Each structure stands twice: as C-alpha cells, then as structure tokens.
Structure 1
Amino acid sequence: MKVRLNKFIAMCGVAPRRKAEELILRGKVKVNDAVVRTLSYFVNPETDEVKVGDRVIRPLEKVYLVMNKPPGVVCSVKDPFNPTVISLLPEEIRRAAVYPVGRLDLDSEGLLVITNDGDLTYEITHPKHGINKTYHVLLDRPLSEGDLRRWREGLIYEREVLVPVAVRPLPFEPRGRWVEVVIDEGIKREVRKMAWALGYEVERLIRVAIGRMRLGRLERGSFRVLSGQALRQMIRRGGEV
C-alpha cells in the first residue's frame, strides 16, 4: 500500500512530518535515486528505495514512552551544553531514533511523550487535533483578580497574541501563587510569555496533562513504556502515569 513520502520519512524515525516536508523541499530526499521535491508524492514501502541524503531509510519498530521531565534537562536529542531527555534513556531505546514530542524548556518539568512515531507526533502537536496541554504554574507573587480576568481574556506579548483555553487559581501553598493554565497551541514559551505580559515571573512550570492523560506518581526523570494504542487511549479518554 502506498503512503505519502513525508509520512514514510516519519515512519522511519528520521523526522516528524512537518520536518520531513522541509527535507523534501530542500531536495534532500531521493526515491529510487531520483530527487523528489513534491510534497504529494507517494511511495510503496515494499518496492521503492528512499534515501535522505545518502542513507537508505526503512520503517522502524515503533517505540512509545512518557517521561516526567526534570528541570535542568533539555527537550532535544542532542545538546552541546546540557543533558537531554534522550540521554536519560537506556541505549536500546536511544537506538530506535526516538525524540521528544513538543517542548518543555530547560527550567520546566513534567509530562513528556517520547517516540519515533511521526503520526503520533502530528496528532499531539497540530492544533487541529485538539490535544490541549495543561500546566501548573507557580508565580513570584499572588495573582490578582484583575490579572486573572485579563489572563482569561487573552494577552499580547511582544506582538504575539496569546489566548489560553482556561485559567484557574489552584488551592496550593503558597496560596494565590499557583495557577492552572490550559493551552491548545505550541507557541514557544507560551505560558511564561503570558505571565510576563502581566508582569509576573514564573518560579515553577509543570506540565501535568497532555489531552486527558495526567501526570500521577511517575517520579522525576523516570519514564514508562506504553503501547501506541494505550498511549492514544490515555490521551483521548483519560489515564494517569
């Protein structure tokens, strides 16, 4: 059965679909030794030979896991200055060309999906699929009622429009400083920018849910391997890790 070229590249763990499209447009992909720059191109995985650069690529066995990312670790495959989430994994998993889905910045922590499945990556990260992300945020001082109202209505930070799905105070200590924020886009440092737009600093930022899958007792730096079906069901229907 034929599949789109960008999907095939994602199936091989080379890059998610959108990155795969960039590789195609830059002329980095060959099918049967001919450069292909057409995004709508289809290949037959059984008979066609696909290369990225000079390397023949083949579909990988899919790997799915969730991690409780600790602060001080980069959401990247490689980094010259800091440990990465991939460096926390055993070698046999790293060999499967896994990568983090979405980003948590260096100082942020919490729930993170790691996989080599480009289809799942697309499902989680593209806004059209409606997979919200939920964060618990510790501010440097109590959030005022007026600022809570402004946050809920949407904010502008350095010409970026930032509109949350929901914002609510949390009954945690120190009182008034913990807020739950739900977002549906993948703007870089979006939650921090929302706080900065109101004049607050963020002291802790924890992703506690992806869709309906919530962070439970999984310890910092630990991970749990799941099947693709189980992970998708938890994201869509609910579950705790």
Structure 2
Amino acid sequence: MRLDKYLAEAGLGSRKEVKQYIKKGQVTVNDQVEKKDKAQVDPLKDVVTFAGEVIKYQEFYYYLLNKPAGVVSATEDKKDRTVMDLFAEADYRKDLFPVGRLDKDTEGFLLITNDGQLAHELLSPKKHVEKEYLAQVKGVMNEQDQQTFVKGIQLDGELTLPAELMIDETDEEKQTSTVRIVLKEGKFHQVKRMVKACGKEVTYLKRIRMGGLALPDDLAKGSYRELSGEELEQLKASK
C-alpha cells in the first residue's frame, strides 16, 4: 500500500495533507524518515509514525450506536441532526455510514461502519437477518395478533415474511401493551404498519437486537462504542 494512502485511510488527513507531512519529513517508516509519498508499506508489518506517534492502519471500523429519538439515520441532512453528528471528531470518518435506517422517532441498535460488504449482507432480503424491536402499543395485543404476524400481513400489495410477536405485558384498564417483535426483513415503517394492520398503534419503538448481537444495557442513549472482536463475530455469524 502507498504511504500516502495508508496515512489518509488511517484518518491522519486528506491525500493532499498527508503528502505535505511526508514531504516535510514528519513521517517515518520503521524508524527511517520517508519522504516519498509513493513508498510502499505493509500495514501488517511496518511501523509508521507521524510526529513521533505510531499511526495504526485499520481498514474497517465497526461502531454500535444506541440511537436516540430525534436524529435521522443518515450521513447528512439539511434539516435534522444525523447519527453521524453524535460522533466525536476523533472517531468521525467520511466513509462511515449507518447500516439500514431507524425512523427519526425510533431508538436503539444501529450499526455504523465503513464495511459495505457486511452492510449489504446484513440488509439483504435473501439473508433474513433478524431484527428485534421493543414496542409500547396503544391497544391490547392478543393471540390473534400473534397469529396474524406469523401468517404475514399485506403491505403495499406484498405479503410480509412471517414475523414473531411476543406479548410481554398488557394493561386492560389503560388499553396498552408492551411487546417485542422479530422481523426478518426491513420494509418501510414495517413494525408500525404491521401493528396498525392489527388495529393498534405503536407509541414507542426501540430496536434491541440485530442478528446475534443485542444492544448492551450499559450503552447509554446517544452513546456509541467500537464493537469488540467477539461482538463482531456474533454479528457476522448472523448473515
């Protein structure tokens, strides 16, 4: 890999900026000053430093974000704050993007990465990767609704894949329910529309799991962190 590409992809700056660092003798490779931006480096073997600090190369980044309500699942938006606005400057990279979308008012599990291949496999309709949601519902959901979810519901002229509706709690007096819903696809506003098709209304929605990885209890709303190696393997095993 070219030295300038290594430094740029490591987040040190743009290609133009890192070329200047190299030209000024601020970069070393294996303790030797390297002034050629085209010099080849091995990310796995060579030690590259800038101004005395080791610059580690990492091709892919994986962050788990506990999305709060009020921000949109996009890299940029002219009107609203996006999930990328929640990132600290030190962690932000232009190539990061959210895997799939959560509605603006929906909270919870959102993977942020620059690994396009993994994102494609997690979202592919052919893979049927499970997404689990916690929902507060206006109306009392029942066994008939559970059967309706299993059979599938017509949305936009298409029958949804079988989905699982788990009823955690109901309140007959307040006419409310707390449920968990497991989908194997991701149609537009699917959870809300499926619940509405049963004559009820979602008043709160949070995604709590994607594939084999659940949203950690200790990850505060609006916070994010890098996935551990074990967590990444759990996610990859889902596809």
Give the TM-score category using the shorter length: 0.5 to 0.7
Task: Give the TM-score normalised by the residue count of structure 1.
Answer: 0.67
Q: Hey, what's the Cα distance between the residues in 2 that align with 1:235 and 1:95?
A: 22
Distance 2:127 2:142 in 1: 33
Partner of 1:214: 214
1:92 aligned counterpart, secondary structure = coil
Gap change, CA 1:77 and 1:60, over 3 Å in 2:
farther
Q: Residue 209 of structure 2: SS of its match in structure 1?
A: strand
Q: Which amino acid aligns with 1:224?
A: R
Question: Which aligned segments of 4 or more residues in structure 1 are displaced greater than 4 angstroms?
Answer: 172-176
Distance 2:119 2:87 in 1: 19
TM-score norm. by structure 2 comes to: 0.68
The structure number with the bigger radius of gyration is: 2
Cα displacement (A) at 1:96: 4.3
Are the equivalent residues in 2 in contact too, given 1:169–1:176 (CA < 8 A)? no
CA distance in 2, matches of 1:128, 1:90: 35
Output the CA distance in 2 between the equivalents of 1:199 and 1:82.
31
Q: Deviations over 1:187-219 (max 9, x none)?
A: 121111101212221101110101111112211
Deviations 1:58-90 (A, max 9, x none): x97311100100111100001111111000001
What displacement does 1:237 show? Answer: 6.1
1:185 aligns with 185
Q: Please report how far the alpha carbon of residue 162 of structure 1 lies from its aligned counterpart in structure 2 after TM superposition.
A: 2.0
Distance of 2:59 and 2:235 partners within structure 1 = 21
What is the DSSP-based 3-state SS (H/G/I as helix, E as strand, rest coil) of the residue aligned with 1:224? strand
Secondary structure (helix, strand or coil) at the match of 2:126 reads helix
> How large is the Cα RMSD of the aligned pairs?
2.5
Q: 1:133 aligns with which of 106, 131, 140?
A: 131
> How far did 1:117 drift?
0.7
Q: CA–CA distance in 2 between the matches of 1:152 and 1:129? A: 18
Query: What are structure 2's unaligned runs of at least 5 residues?
Result: 1-8, 10-39, 41-56
More deviation, 212-221/160-169:
160-169
Structure 2 residue aligned with 1:170: 168
1:230 aligns with 2:230: yes
Can you give the 5+ residue segments of structure 1 that lack an aligned partner in the other structure?
1-11, 13-45, 47-58
Contact conserved, 1:88 with 1:221, CA < 8 A, in 2?
yes
- 2:74 is aligned to 76
Q: Please tell me whether the aligned partners of residues 164 and 182 of structure 1 are also in contact (alpha carbons under 8 angstroms).
A: no
Say how many residue pairs are matched. Answer: 181
